[in-house]
Structures are given as structure tokens and as C-alpha cells.
Chains A and B, each alone.
Chain A
Amino acid sequence: MALTLDRNEAGAPGGVSVDARDIRRAFDGRVVLDQLSLTIGEGEFVALLGRSGSGKSTLLRILGGLDDGYQGDVLVPKQRAVVFQEARLVPWLRVLPNVTLGLSGGSRGALKGRGLAALDEVGLTKQASAWPVTLSGGEAQRVALARALVREPQLVLLDEPFGALDALTRIRMHALLQDLCARHRPAVLLVTHDVDEAVLLADRTLVLVDGRITLDLPIPLEHPRRRGDPGFDELRSRLLAELGVEEH
């Protein structure tokens, strides 16, 4: 499917899913993003690291179309999906209608089929008619992933999606996310403050400090990656140092 960049003919490089130039965003005079530029290639998995308050969520909200108070030039694909830290399932819709929320095109049965297929990918077919309130944190986040994937997005924006999960569930979610990305090949921007998570999952990691990208580090490790591999620890230390954390 061709990328639907509105300005493609005006010279955006081919094979690019996000092309953002000179983004500036201030809240009441406080500058959060400062002349920030960012490109993400098709199918590329980029992690965005930063301390809290560094502007990472602001950047994600701009790319997701939730914030229009910025200056600069931002191009993103039409088909985008966001997964928030909290699953943000609509409490009065059961799991399946939550997954198909906002989908149009196709009969009711076809939509249902697509929703069920997405739920099957995250292993939650059985919970299709459950109320969101009855799900565990990990299950709710898997539904949120299914809801993102069912739209066949060219760009998936993940805003600390595993931050509220316990360590065991997070490990399983990492594997699931890698699996899903390998199958659907969307461009991914993962906002996180977990350095290990970034090194484990991303093709490239950006560090955001005071509204500017101060480090753009490719992660050339083979999958599957493991904590403790020599290359892993080196990259990890490098990123931590950039974030101002000295390891002993």
C-alpha cells in the first residue's frame, strides 16, 4: 500500500513514515519541544527515551494528532494508532466493540471478523464479550494492542504502554509486541523511560533532553536480544550516560 503522505510530491524522501521538521511546542511560554526534527522509516522501530518532563509524550501526542498547538511541519501516515499507558478501553463497550471502535467500511459481520482476528493475535478471543472492568492490566493492554493493530496502521505510537504492568507481564508483552511488529511491519515510535526496553526492542533509539534530541543511536544487535550480552550492556551504558545516570 502506498504511503499517504500529503506532501510526498513536494519532496519528502521515499520510504519514510514520519517526517517532522522543526517542531516547537510551548505551554504558557514554557518551551517543551525546541526545533526538534525526526524521521522514521517505513517499518522502522524507534524508541524515544527521556526523563519524565522531557517532552516525549508531547511529541507523541503531536504525531498522533492529539495536539495541534505546535509550530513546525509534521507529516505522518493517515493510518495511525496510539496505545496509551493506561489501556483507555471504553468501559461501556465490551472487548470486541472496543477493538472495532471507530472502524468503518465493510459490513458489521466483516468488522466483527477483523476484530476477532486481532483479538486472536493477542490471545484474547475468549474475552471478546467481557466488560473491560473485568480484565487484568496485562489483558487490557493486549486489547489496546489489538485495537491498534486492527486498523492496519502504518505508524504505531506507543506511549509507555508497559509502564503500569508488572515485570513478568512486561516480558511477555515485549515478546508479543516483537511478534506483532514482525508480522505487520508498521513504523513504531515507542516512548519509554526504560532503557532496557529500548535496547531490547528498537532498531534505533533517540534520547530526548530538554526538548531536543541529543543522541540518535542505532541498535545493530541481532534478535533475539538478551540482557547481559556484551553489545547490549555497552549500548545500555551509553544511553544511561546520556540520560545522566552513572553506573557503578
Chain B
Amino acid sequence: MSTVEVLQAPRADGALAAAPAAVLVRPTPAKTHRGIPIPRWARRLIAPLAVLGIWQLVCSQGVFTPIELASPVAVVNAGRELWAEGQFQSNLLISLERVAVGLAFGVTIGLVISVLSGLFHWGEDLIDPLVQAARSVPILGLLPLVIIWFGIGEAPKIFLIALGVTFAIYINTYSAIRGVDMKLIEAGRTFGLGRLGLIRRIILPGSLPGFLVGLRLALVHSWLIIVVAEQINAKSGIGYLINAAQTWGRTDIIMLGCTVYAVLGLIADFIVRRLEKSLLAWRRGFEGA
């Protein structure tokens, strides 16, 4: 630790003061810059690259057979193979499209009902009990039923994603609206904001942090749902590809599908982070050490 010994300055007559020297410490540890500073983005790559390296090492050392676990190189080759056949692009696109459409529906519906429920007692009494009850039903458990209702086309997949997204958005936005500081609403009222003005300038911006948490969860949910939904009764999509690869005995393609999901998850997270950074610039929260 950085302790600093403070020696008393000798007085003009050469004598030292009688009191013993106090030991002082710095209130915060001194910042040390050892070696070359690594930028944040590069630091974030270290752990994934290490995992990749160990994965490749384990495979090339023959700890697992290629059937049990395909190596990263094999996964890349599988990707090239599928890309050349055009299967990779078409299945990725259809999965992305399903998630995008489901998200669009879910976010819109979730926002509308959370605003109705958050702003009006009537809305709360009508909507909240229903949503709270419905969201405790495991969505994927509905899959067999949804197939009976909607068949095996696009509708059941989009429906399930929209449902999951709606709940995630609703729960977080609703509680955020209810958490908006009453003092700010009072202040707004005294300065002449009407009902619409309060909603637009105070209540909605104030519940934005909660909405963004909901959006993050919604993205995770939507990928979770699409994987399972595409593995049952689907003829396209990344989930279908994984399922088909199982019957072909192609673990490299299964790993490829999982990797695609991981990358998409990263991209979604990045987008939400960006959104938070620009939309929540007014906040000064704890940013980590």
C-alpha cells in the first residue's frame, strides 16, 4: 500500500518538533499504470479468445472425438460449406426476420399496455391482473397448443416471440412508470404542464431506464424462444438447421448454429448498450471501477 512517511521539517534552530511523525495514507489507492494500456474493446475480447483457444486445443489433442465436439476450425469449415450452398444465409435471414417481426409486435403491444396500465387506474385494474397471470405460464409450454391454433407456418413462431417480448417490456416499463419521482410530477404541474405534457416530458422519459431493461430481457427471450420454436415443426431457420444437423450426425453444424446465436446475442447487447448510452446520457450512475 502507498503509505507516505511524513517527516517533520527541521526547525530553523535545527531541533525537531517533539511530536512523533504521523503516518499518512492516501484516501484512494494510487493509480498505477504498469506496462502498455490495453483499450477496453480489446480487453473485452480476451476471455472469448481464450475460450476459443482452449476449445481448439482440447479438440486437436483428441480429448473428444469430432462427433462429440467439433473443433473451431471444423465449425468454420461447416460454415463455409453451408455458405457455399446458400443454406447458411437463407436460414439466418429467416430467423432474423422472425425475431424482428416478433420484437416489433411485442415491443409495441408491451409499450401500449404498460402505458395504459401505468397511467390510468382503470387500465391497471383491467390489464395488470391478466398480464401477471399470463406471464407465469411458461411460454414454450404453449408450443403444442400454438401449433394447433396457427399451424406450422410463421404465425406460431412470431406469436410466441411477441408474447414473450410483450411480458418483458410490460413488467419493466409498468413498474418504471410507477417509480417516476412524484416530486418531478409536482414540479411539472406547477410550471403548467398538462396531462399530455406530463406524460411526454416527465413520465415517459423517466420510465425509459426501465423500458431499456425490459428491451434487454426481451432480446434474450426472443432468441430463446426462436431456437425452441424452430426445432419443432419448422423447415427453415437456425433452429431447424441445428435440429437437422442432429439427424445428419453433424456436430460441427450444431456448434455453428450455437455460435451464430452467441454472436447475434452479442450484437443485440451492443445495440442496447448504444441506445442506453445516448438515451440515458443524463444519468450519472456507478460505472464500475
User: Which residues on A are within 8 Å of B, measured CB to CB?
Assistant: 64-66, 80-82, 84, 86, 88, 90-94, 101-104, 131-134, 147, 151
A151–B191 alpha-carbon span in the complex (Å)? 8
Majority secondary structure of chain A interface residues (helix, strand, loop or mixed): loop
| B183 proximity list for chain A (CB < 8 A) | 84, 86, 88
* B187 and A64 within 8 A (CB): no
State the CA gap A86–B183 with chains docked (Å): 10
Q: Are B184 and A102 in contact, CB atoms less than 8 angstroms apart?
A: no
Q: Chain B interface (Cβ within 8 Å of chain A)? A: 183-184, 186-193, 197, 201-202, 205-206, 208, 281-284
Bound state CA distance, A102 and B198, in angstroms? 9
Is there contact, CB below 8 Å, between B192 and A151?
Answer: yes
The smallest C-beta distance from B6 to any residue of chain A, in angstroms, reads 30
CB-CB under 8 A from B208, the residues of chain A are 92
Given known pairs A88-B183, A90-B201, A92-B208, the reply for A132 and B192 (CB within 8 Å) is: no
Residues of B within 8 A of A91 (CB): 282-283
Can you identify 6 A-B contacts, CB atoms within 8 angstroms? A66-B186, A81-B190, A82-B190, A90-B205, A93-B201, A133-B282
Residues of A within 8 A of B193 (CB): 101-102
Top 8 A-B pairs, shortest CB-CB distance: A102-B192, A102-B191, A88-B187, A102-B193, A92-B282, A92-B205, A82-B190, A133-B284
Q: Would A103 and B282 count as touching, CB distance under 8 A?
A: no
Q: Is the CB of A64 within 8 A of B284?
A: no
A64 touches B190 (CB 8 A): yes
CA distance in complex: A200, B284 (Å): 37
Separation in Å of the A18 CB from the closest CB of chain B?
Answer: 15
**Chain A CB within 10 Å — which of B186, B190, B283 has the most?**
B190
Q: Which residues of A contact B206 (CB under 8 A)?
A: 92
A102-B282 contact given A92-B206, A92-B208, CB 8 Å threshold? no
For B283, what are the chain A residues with a Cβ–Cβ distance below 8 Å?
A: 91, 133
Q: How long is the Cα–Cα vector from A91 to B189 in the complex, in angstroms?
A: 16
Q: A90-B201, A92-B205 are in contact. Are A131 and B188 (CB under 8 A)?
A: no
Assess the B191–A147 pair: CB atoms within 8 A: yes
Kindly report which residue of chain A lies nearest to residue B279, judged by CB atoms.
A92
With a CB–CB cut-off of 8 A, which chain A residues contact B281?
131
> Given A84-B183, A131-B282, do A90 and B188 touch, yes or no (CB 8 Å)?
yes
Residues of B close to A80: CB separation below 8 A: 190
| CB neighbours of A101 from chain B (8 A) | 188, 191, 193, 201
CA distance A88 to B197 in the complex (A): 17
Which residues of B have CB within 8 Å of A82? Answer: 187, 190
Q: Are A90 and B184 in contact (CB under 8 A)?
A: yes
In whole angstroms, how far apart are the Cα atoms of A64 and B152 in the complex? Answer: 61
Give 16 A-B pairs besides A65-B189, A65-B190, A82-B190 with Cβ atoms closer than 8 angstroms: A66-B186, A66-B189, A80-B190, A84-B187, A88-B187, A90-B201, A90-B202, A93-B205, A102-B188, A102-B191, A102-B192, A103-B191, A103-B192, A104-B192, A133-B283, A151-B191
B186 lies within 8 A of A102 (CB): no
Closest A residue to B205 using CB positions: A92
Bound-state CA distance A79–B113 (Å) is 36
Q: Which B residue sits closest to A147, measured CB to CB?
A: B191
When distances are taken between beta carbons in the complex, the residues of chain B under 8 Å from A90 are: 184, 187-188, 201-202, 205
- How far in angstroms is the closest Cβ of chain B from A144? 9
Q: Which residues of B contact A131 (CB under 8 A)?
A: 281-282, 284
